[in-house]
Chains A and B, each alone.
Chain A
Amino acid sequence: MIKFSNVSKRYPGGNEALRQVSFEVGPGELVFLTGRSGAGKSTLFKLIPAIERPTSGSVLVSGQNVSALKPAAVPFLRRNLGLVFQGQKLLYDRSVFDNVMLPLAFSDFSPREAAKRARAALDKVGLLERERANPIQLSGGEQQRVAIARAVANRPAILIADEPTANLDSDSAAAILSIFASFQQVGVTVLIATHDLALIERAGRRVLRLEGGTLVEGGDAA
């Protein structure tokens, strides 16, 4: 589902964030991406929805070469990806329900179908009864779950999350993890970037480890 081949990313100014990274995540896998701050996790994360482009190498998502995608095609790539951003990026000027509706507003669903999907997504993260609330009224863990509901509202085949358990206590983090696991069980490919080693240990899943921009664990043999 996600395939990196010899991907390097060099920022203007010479900072090389990723060096010859190669790995593949198969359909329905749940994989952790880890490493210290500045190891290149966020950069790698941004290459998948084409927020940034690799300097060299290729990034394939569902067989599509993301690194060569025309700007006009990028929105349609992103609709097939569920993105959970670092810091959630919820909109506090509207209700939980309207936050989840956001990605559905520009999909080709009828308003009724969109509302149905938004409620289904909220139900999956256990927040259906809070749909009228403003996100600011929710706890950190609940806000994270709203962000996940927003990411999965479009029912994407791939779900990627950047530090989804940052600033959460271990119970909330475990709850978030079990939500991701439940999506994986229904066939969604999940990639979680985190430096929460306890979480990774508890999950016991495949781990990709970055060190100074190089993949030192879990990558392809090449």
Chain B
Amino acid sequence: MNAWLSQHLQAFRGALRKLAAQRTASLFNVLVIGIALALPAGGYVVLTNIQDLATRFSLEPQLSVFLEPGAKPADREGLEKRLKAEPGVASIRFIPRDEALTELRKTEGMAEVIAALNQNPLPDAFVLKMRALPPDQMEALATELGKLPGVGHVQADSAWARRLSALIGIGRLGMGLLAALLATGLVAVTFNTIRLQVLTQREEIEVARMLGATDGFIRRPFFYLGALQGLAGGAIALLVVAGGLFLLNQGVRALAETYGSSFQLAFLAPGDALAVTLFASLLGWLGAYLSVSIYLRGIEPR
């Protein structure tokens, strides 16, 4: 056990020494890995943020029921009763057309537009805060309400959230594909750098083999080398993403303020950040594994 541990320590130190001995080359390898991983990781961060935003809205779905301009008060009262009886409705707020106009006037740039009109074009409306309903039930309810007497138009706010979430799904798939492609590229990069290492140590490997080193012993330092490069690359990727978010957030904050929101893009969750670095070191390990195994099989005597 003690010998096993000291052999691993030795292999680990050997790998660190090799990294240090070829500082410039190692740095560039790590940069390649880091930047390549930053692309899908960054894309993932942005998508996750947009999705969070979308869920926040779709968790409080709204239905806006606009009345026909000529709706009779009796229709309105009947409708209100009908809406109150609806089990999916959490609260009802009636917005008379005059109030809606006043609200609209507060919106920047709209006051002039409204002043140009000689009558109020807005209808009376009910704004319904709904309990969390699956989007398809929301739509069914919207269609049903649309058929009631005096109702002009029903607007379900969930529709855009649904489309957005479908779009995010496509985006995620794209990021997944990108990540898979780049991961393959990274394995190839590590494969080649480790192969170069192996070739510079050809003599040592040959002698060690003759003296009774197992293939496991010979592979071990290269595994550590590959995994360490991957790990460092993963850390670089996180730095790149963090830096990118910092720059983006300056714009995002300014934009969010105009909506009265304090929204900004959040960094990866700690678990996800850990996953990125572990995945990177796994890729490095895999590249090293393939490289050394193929080399050792090639020099196997027959």
Query: Which A residues are CB-close (under 8 A) to B10?
Result: 105
Stretch at the interface among A16-24, A26-34, A83-91, A208-216: A83-91
* A108 lies within 8 A of chain B by Cβ: yes
Select one of B2, B215, B301 contacting A52, CB under 8 A. Answer: B301
Q: Provided the pairs A71-B300, A89-B206 are in contact, do residues A103 and B212 lie with their beta carbons within 8 angstroms?
A: yes
Query: Which A residues are CB-close (under 8 A) to B108?
Result: none
Interface pair B207/A106, CB less than 8 Å apart: no
Once bound together, how far apart are the Cα atoms of A145 and B139, in whole Å? 89
Chain B, 178-220, CB within 8 A of any chain A CB: 203-204, 206-215, 217
Q: Provided the pairs A52-B301, A75-B213 are in contact, do residues A106 and B6 lie with their beta carbons within 8 angstroms?
A: no
* A41 lies within 8 A of chain B by Cβ: no
Interface pair B3/A110, CB less than 8 Å apart: yes
Once bound together, how far apart are the Cα atoms of A71 and B203, in whole Å? 20
Select one of A51, A83, A105, A107 contacting B301, CB under 8 A. Answer: A51
Query: Which A residues are CB-close (under 8 A) to B213?
Result: 75, 103, 105-106
Q: Provided the pairs A89-B203, A91-B203, A91-B204 are in contact, do residues A102 and B211 lie with their beta carbons within 8 angstroms?
A: yes
Min CB–CB distance A175 → chain B (angstroms):
23
Select one of A53, A75, A109, A154 contacting B214, CB under 8 A. Answer: A75
* B262 lies within 8 A of chain A by Cβ: no
Select one of B3, B209, B212 contacting A76, CB under 8 A. Answer: B212
Once bound together, how far apart are the Cα atoms of A163 and B10, in whole Å? 33
Once bound together, how far apart are the Cα atoms of A78 and B302, in whole Å? 17
* B7 lies within 8 A of chain A by Cβ: yes
* A119 lies within 8 A of chain B by Cβ: no
* A150 lies within 8 A of chain B by Cβ: yes
Indicate with 1 or 0, residue by residue over B10-21, a CB within 8 angstroms of chain A CB atoms. Answer: 100000000000
Indicate with 1 or 0, residue by residue over A77-118, a CB within 8 angstroms of chain B CB atoms. Answer: 111010101000101010000000011011111110000000
Q: Which residue of A lies closest to B217 (CB)?
A: A106
* A49 lies within 8 A of chain B by Cβ: yes
Indicate with 1 or 0, residue by residue over A36-52, a CB within 8 angstroms of chain B CB atoms. Answer: 00000000000001011
Query: Which A residues are CB-close (under 8 A) to B210?
Result: 49, 51, 78, 83, 85, 89
Once bound together, how far apart are the Cα atoms of A110 and B212, in whole Å? 17
Query: Which A residues are CB-close (under 8 A) to B3?
Result: 107-110
Q: Provided the pairs A51-B301, A91-B203 are in contact, do residues A79 and B212 lie with their beta carbons within 8 angstroms?
A: yes
Once bound together, how far apart are the Cα atoms of A77 and B6, in whole Å? 23
Once bound together, how far apart are the Cα atoms of A51 and B2, in whole Å? 30
Once bound together, how far apart are the Cα atoms of A180 and B206, in whole Å? 24
Interface pair A111/B6, CB less than 8 Å apart: yes
Q: Which residue of B lies closest to A93 (CB)?
A: B204
Interface pair B301/A150, CB less than 8 Å apart: no
Interface pair B204/A106, CB less than 8 Å apart: no
Once bound together, how far apart are the Cα atoms of A109 and B215, in whole Å? 18
Select one of A52, A79, A102 contacting B207, CB under 8 A. Answer: A102
Min CB–CB distance B299 → chain A (angstroms):
11
Q: Provided the pairs A52-B301, A109-B3, A110-B3 are in contact, do residues A78 and B212 lie with their beta carbons within 8 angstroms?
A: yes
Select one of A52, A83, A93 contacting B211, CB under 8 A. Answer: A83
Once bound together, how far apart are the Cα atoms of A104 and B260, in whole Å? 70
Once bound together, how far apart are the Cα atoms of A109 and B2, in whole Å? 9
Once bound together, how far apart are the Cα atoms of A27 and B301, in whole Å? 28
Min CB–CB distance A103 → chain B (angstroms):
4
Min CB–CB distance B196 → chain A (angstroms):
16
Once bound together, how far apart are the Cα atoms of A91 and B209, in whole Å? 13
Once bound together, how far apart are the Cα atoms of A75 and B207, in whole Å? 12
Query: Which B residues are CB-close (under 8 A) to A83?
Result: 210-211
Chain B, 41-84, CB within 8 A of any chain A CB: none
Query: Which B residues are CB-close (under 8 A) to A102?
Result: 204, 207-208, 211
Query: Which B residues are CB-close (under 8 A) to A78?
Result: 210-212
Once bound together, how far apart are the Cα atoms of A11 and B204, in whole Å? 27
Q: Provided the pairs A91-B203, A91-B207, A102-B211 are in contact, do residues A110 and B7 lie with their beta carbons within 8 angstroms?
A: no
By a beta-carbon cutoff of 8 Å, the part of chain A in contact with chain B is 49, 51-53, 71-72, 75-79, 81, 83, 85, 89, 91, 93, 102-103, 105-111, 150, 154
User: Can you list 28 pairs linking A and B with CB atoms under 8 Å apart?
Assistant: A53-B301, A71-B300, A75-B212, A75-B215, A76-B212, A78-B211, A79-B211, A81-B212, A85-B210, A89-B203, A89-B206, A89-B210, A91-B207, A93-B204, A102-B207, A102-B211, A103-B211, A103-B212, A103-B213, A105-B217, A106-B208, A106-B213, A106-B214, A106-B217, A107-B3, A107-B212, A108-B3, A154-B211
17 more A-B residue pairs beyond the given contacts A49-B210, A75-B212, A108-B3, with a C-beta to C-beta distance below 8 A: A52-B301, A53-B302, A71-B300, A75-B214, A78-B210, A78-B211, A81-B212, A93-B204, A102-B204, A102-B207, A102-B208, A105-B213, A106-B214, A107-B3, A109-B3, A110-B6, A154-B212
The 9 closest A-B pairs by CB, nearest first: A78-B212, A79-B212, A103-B211, A108-B3, A106-B217, A75-B214, A75-B212, A106-B213, A89-B207
